[in-house]
Amino acid sequence: MVLLGPPGVGKGTQARLLSKTFRIPEIGTGDIFRNAVKERTPMGVAAKTFMDAGKLVPDDVTIGLVEERLRADDTKGGFILDGFPRTAQQATALDALVHRNQLHLDAVLEITVDPTELVRRLTGRRLCAVCQTPYHLESAPSRLPDTCDRCGGPLVQRPDDDEATVLKRLDEYERKTKPLTEYYRAAGLLKAIDGNGDVESVNARIMAALQAPVGETA
């Protein structure tokens, strides 16, 4: 299956839960890149050449990396793609890849949350500059303001999480990735998931949607 949704919607958390439930790997593009570069696979070497030159890794290399990963033994029982595809071109390439490896997609889950809620979730995130413990101003605050409970280190905001950058990331999702949902809806694979509420409720909605016949959405 494929998990889609804007930044801050909780895709990664849900991917981990689904991975446990179905005993299939959750595959994020970040992990694929890191592992392929470390293992020096053919596509990993190609990707590193672009990264070392400070260039964006082109789509065909990214797709090659995903293909290498999906050919691994642990995906025999299935896989969860998190963060891929991101664009219409990548979605078309994924279809071709799936086809030539005799795989298939069972479902594409799109998790959505109100944009104002996403901004609140993302801009409230803080991280200990020393031990990297994550906090949230509202949902997981530190006992003392701006101070890590564990080590007393200062809490900082990642540059990615400041409001202007968050709005830019959400806008990019709307423009580039959102059109994929129509593509997958037309293919009869899309299941829309309400991402509001706690992790367990969202997971319950996903499980219900996966059991519902194709076309019905939670």
As annotated, the active-site residues are 11, 86, 125, 158, 169
Q: Is 150 in the site for Zn ion (CB under 5 A)?
A: yes
Q: Is 151 in the site for Zn ion (CB under 5 A)?
A: yes
- In whole angstroms, what is the distance from residue 118 CA to residue 180 CA? 20
Give how many residues touch Zn ion by CB under 5 A: 8
Question: By C-beta, is 56 or 129 nearer to Zn ion?
Answer: 129
Q: Whole-number minimum distance, CB 155 to Zn ion, in Å?
A: 8
Residue 161 backbone dihedrals phi, psi, to 5 degrees:
-100, 5
Q: Whole-number minimum distance, CB 130 to Zn ion, in Å?
A: 5
Buried-state track 98-129, b at ≥16 Cβ within 10 A, e below 16: eeeeeeeeebbbbbbbebeebebbbbbbbbbe
Nearest in space to 79 (alpha carbons), one of 22, 7, 32? 22
Q: Is 144 in the site for Zn ion (CB under 5 A)?
A: no
Q: Is 131 in the site for Zn ion (CB under 5 A)?
A: yes
Q: Contact 18/26 with Cβ under 8 angstroms?
A: yes
Question: By C-beta, is 128 or 190 nearer to Zn ion?
Answer: 128
Q: Which one of 36-44, 56-64, 140-148, 163-171 is the stretch in contact with Zn ion (CB under 5 A)?
A: 140-148
Helix H or strand E segment including 2: strand 2-4
Among 128, 166, 193, 202, binds Zn ion (CB under 5 A): 128
Q: Whole-number minimum distance, CB 153 to Zn ion, in Å?
A: 4
Q: DSSP string spanning 119-162?
A: HHHHHTEEEETTT--EEETTTB--SSTTB-TTT-PBEE--GGGS
- In whole angstroms, what is the distance from residue 98 CA to residue 170 CA? 28
Among 47, 148, 189, 193, binds Zn ion (CB under 5 A): 148
Q: Which one of 1-9, 147-155, 195-203, 209-217 is the stretch in contact with Zn ion (CB under 5 A)?
A: 147-155
Q: Whole-number minimum distance, CB 121 to Zn ion, in Å?
A: 21
Q: Contact 111/1 with Cβ under 8 angstroms?
A: no
The β-bridge partners of 191 are 109
Q: Is 153 in the site for Zn ion (CB under 5 A)?
A: yes
Binding site for Zn ion (CB under 5 A): 128, 130-131, 133, 148, 150-151, 153
